[in-house]
Structure 1
Amino acid sequence: MSETKLHIVVFPWLAFGHLIPFLELAKRIAQQGNKISFISTPRNIHRLPKLPESLKPCLHLIEFPLPHIDELPENAENTDDTPQHLVPYLFKAYDALEQPLTKFLEKSTPDWVICDFAPLWLPPLSSMLGIPCIFFCSFAACGSSFGLELIMGKKSMESSEAKLLRAVHKRKEVDQSSKPKELNRFFETLKGAQVIATRSCMEIDGEFVKSLERSSGKLVIPIGLLPPSPEDSNDHNWYTILNWLNKWEKGSVIYVAFGTEVTLSDEEFTEIGMGLDMSGFPFFWTMKNRNTSGGSDESQDWIENESKRGMMWRRWAPQSRILAHKSVGAFFPHCGWSSVIEGLQVGCPLVMLPFQYDQWPIAKFMEEKKVGLKVHRHEHDFKFTRDSMAKALTSVMVEEERKCYRSGAQEMSKIVGDKQLQEKYVNQFVDYMKMNRPGYN
């Protein structure tokens, strides 16, 4: 095999749940001496974790200003900055990056483009320029396979996950009927790409990798789970959090985090808070940009509830380090794939409350793997209650079932945390790109 290094353009969607795994993949490819052009908008680039000095010669963070759209708030360059009902306009701004990206690709002539689900125009563009395109699906393979089968009519719309997805999608729908919806973007981008890379490993979700390959009719390459790199131990937030966690007994704290894109209604927020209180366990809840006490100072980083058993943190938090702390006994996430991977990396059992898209099949799959338990939702309105929450939390934290979930999570951590295994997948992916780049052979 030629030892010539690759040049790869990486173009993620404007959401942290996508930017971070794309950056993690870029870092691992760059570690082998390959050149990476990682393209996003200035505000997103500046908010990414700092790159190790050793990677800076190979991994270039390139800023494309986001085209102005009147309907978007000032400085909105990410789903985290954008109210949910305005996200369609963020897609519109993202689509307007086609012109500067075209010029960049024409000038730099990379070996490959790795793109996200959102730019359905990029696979045909890269094909026209003679640059092969890989669709990197940063979702779990179970979610991607489920979504594709749903679109293609191979999965019944009457399945429980499909009903939930349809109900939530209706509530989120914005009058943008002339624009491609998110699932259509996923399908069109996948259809146009030469290859699909999935954030999976055969030891955990191999059955869904094979299913995705069958449904798409394309080569699907598992690239490993990309567990996050160690976080900065000098972060000042960590010491405040650490002091609070150190007060509690081993395995007694519930860590709660619903990512950056889940927007809770007042009713949902109340039910979650009451359910946590009813469980009787201390909890640490990261909740970005939410007023939690009816007029409290928004500049305040954290608030303790009246019982002093609950900490509500309102800034960025070092999630991996919190999950690894000895006092944390369960992780209560929204079932985003990145969060699930972080929890399983340290063998932390899950209490799962999915809200959208791939989170439903992920929760079902993790429950089948006996690493956690879903919070029950009513079938008629898909709502959860404080009682259903408290029951799930109690099952994972104190009842006999806890042994099963903890055992399952710890067994899975042996796979997620196996650095050699995860590196092997990335190495095989890089080997594929070297052997199949234009002009090779």
Structure 2
Amino acid sequence: MSEAKKLHVALFPWLAFGHIIPFFELSTPLINLVSLPLPTVEHLPRNAEATTDIPSHKTPYLKLAFDGLQGPLLQFLQTSTPDWIIYDFAPYWLPSILANLGISGVFYSMYGAWTLSFFGSSSSAMINGEDPRTGPEDFTVPPEWIPFPSKIAFRLHEAKQAFRNHFEVNDSGFSDVFRLGSVMGGCDVIAIRNCNELESNFSRLVGELHSKPVLPTGLLPPADFDGSRDQDDVWLTIKECLDKQNKGSVVYIAFGSESELSQPELHELALGLELSGLPFFWALRKRDNSVKLPDGFEERVKGRGIVWTSWVPQLRIMGHESVGGFLTHCGYASIIEALYFELPLIMLPISLDQGLIARIFGEKKVGIEVTKDEDGSFRREWVAESLRFVMVEKEGKPYRDGAKEMKKLIADKDVHDRYVDHFIEFMQNHRVA
């Protein structure tokens, strides 16, 4: 690329690792980090700079601090004059700043096109509150504007949680849905971590609902993964444990750095793992020390089950030959990583769009959801049944085969590189002169 055509692009992700990491993956290694001072906000712990630093009920205060970056970001944009800025769902105030500066903006969605479609149009449903759906029950069926067959909808308990946590105004002064609608309504382009080979109907629908160009950036799968490199002590210890298990026999369990299980949920999940009889490796990131495993659990599963309570090298674990399945909260990034390693999914969605993600990948026959009661609770027996079905039973073979088939798409570097190239080409040809 010649100097005359070289793009200058700024990135402004939301302060959560599930958002920051894909922004890095899209830009690396062509990135320079710029420090913006996060203001002090009442009720936000000192030195809290990401959602992983705080319990979920304090997230609105982090959004309030994030909103305090308007001034520093404006100063940066005025002095650095990028051609484009790629930003996340939270800065509802940014599109008006960009319009005044003559800088083009891309909303980069970590949510799938199915989720964006489900929320409706930015101008009416999301910003002005004109959504014809007025209660949680209305969100348990596909919305009327989806013109093709779809089963994508919330369970009632998921809809109630979404209303409470994301549709209603929170302590930041705005609802998450208002923030999302504002950035989608005010951007020039919507980019989605997606590819048409995975789904194209929902991506087209997003463009129609928001009257904007929609560009998939590919799935950003793990790049040139080599599990033999960087043999640090943590990995060597974990590897030694995994090496003792049979090929494809181990269930890997991880719920990301932010999802939180209640004490009853943790209890039933642990006893479900025990009841399944399967070997497992559980990366358990507990923020609250009052949430405890069942008495005697670790002793009873000794030799076949490991609970690891600090950071783990997830890709190395997924890539180990003894690991044969993934019990997940349905974070989109984690699912992409698991399918890259041919791991079928046992899905236990916890928050916002994770239920919709579970419906999508359930339809694609790469995993199943753990059964839940109407209130969202689940039982140990249902956990054990789901694990055994996907991991060992004959009836689960189509899901194991489906994960292997999906790997062909997710690991196709050329496919995903072409999406990034097209995205860059679009920015080259449509930037403000």
- TM-score of the pair, normalised by structure 2: 0.88
What are the within-5 Å matches in structure 2 for residues 99-118 of structure 1? 99-118=71-90
Residues 73 and 197 (structure 1 numbering): CA distance in 2 closer, same or farther, change over 3 Å?
same
Q: Does structure 1 residue 436 correspond to structure 2 residue 430?
A: yes
Q: Does structure 1 residue 361 correspond to structure 2 residue 356?
A: yes
Supply the AA of the counterpart residue of 1:215.
Answer: L
Q: Does structure 1 residue 329 correspond to structure 2 residue 324?
A: yes
Residues 305 and 61 (structure 1 numbering): CA distance in 2 closer, same or farther, change over 3 Å?
farther
Question: What SS class does the counterpart of residue 202 from structure 1 fall into?
Answer: coil
The Cα offsets for residues 296-352 of structure 1, whole Å up to 9 and x where unpaired, read as: 9xxxxxx95432121111122111111111111110110010001001111110000
Equivalent-residue separation in structure 2 for 1:294 and 1:414 (angstroms): 39
Residues 398 and 80 (structure 1 numbering): CA distance in 2 closer, same or farther, change over 3 Å?
same
Equivalent-residue separation in structure 2 for 1:341 and 1:96 (angstroms): 33
Q: Give the CA deviation at 1:166.
A: 2.6
Q: Does structure 1 residue 5 correspond to structure 2 residue 34?
A: no
**Contact map agreement 2:262 2:291 (CA 8 A) in 1:** no
**Contact map agreement 1:147 1:358 (CA 8 A) in 2:** no
Which residue of 315, 322, 326 corresponds with 1:320?
Answer: 315
Q: Give the CA deviation at 1:128.
A: 1.1
What are the within-5 Å matches in structure 2 for residues 248-327 of structure 1? 248-290=245-287, 304-308=298-302, 309-327=304-322
- Total equivalences in the alignment: 403
Which residue of 99, 103, 120 corresponds with 2:92?
Answer: 120
Residues 294 and 24 (structure 1 numbering): CA distance in 2 closer, same or farther, change over 3 Å?
closer
Give the share of equivalent positions with the same residue, in percent. Answer: 43
What are the within-5 Å matches in structure 2 for residues 322-401 of structure 1? 322-379=317-374, 381-401=375-395
Residues 76 and 306 (structure 1 numbering): CA distance in 2 closer, same or farther, change over 3 Å?
same
Alignment-derived partner of residue 140 in structure 1: 112
Q: Give the CA deviation at 1:292.
A: 7.5
**Contact map agreement 1:305 1:311 (CA 8 A) in 2:** no
Alignment-derived partner of residue 205 in structure 2: 211
Equivalent-residue separation in structure 2 for 1:221 and 1:169 (angstroms): 27
**Contact map agreement 1:113 1:133 (CA 8 A) in 2:** yes
Equivalent-residue separation in structure 2 for 1:73 and 1:391 (angstroms): 41
Quote the RMSD (CA, aligned, Å). Answer: 2.3
Alignment-derived partner of residue 414 in structure 1: 408
Supply the AA of the counterpart residue of 2:231.
Answer: N
Equivalent-residue separation in structure 2 for 1:206 and 1:86 (angstroms): 36
The Cα offsets for residues 356-380 of structure 1, whole Å up to 9 and x where unpaired, read as: 111111100101000000011112x
Residues 167 and 293 (structure 1 numbering): CA distance in 2 closer, same or farther, change over 3 Å?
closer
Residues 158 and 304 (structure 1 numbering): CA distance in 2 closer, same or farther, change over 3 Å?
closer
Equivalent-residue separation in structure 2 for 1:267 and 1:69 (angstroms): 33
Alignment-derived partner of residue 97 in structure 1: 69
Equivalent-residue separation in structure 2 for 1:295 and 1:343 (angstroms): 27
Q: Give the CA deviation at 1:114.
A: 0.2
**Contact map agreement 2:63 2:172 (CA 8 A) in 1:** no
**Contact map agreement 1:85 1:172 (CA 8 A) in 2:** no
**Contact map agreement 1:118 1:186 (CA 8 A) in 2:** yes
What are the within-5 Å matches in structure 2 for residues 153-232 of structure 1? 153=131, 156-159=138-141, 160-161=153-154, 163-169=156-162, 172=165, 176=170, 179-229=173-223, 230=225
What are the within-5 Å matches in structure 2 for residues 70-89 of structure 1? 70-89=42-61
Alignment-derived partner of residue 26 in structure 2: 25
- TM-score of the pair, normalised by structure 1: 0.86
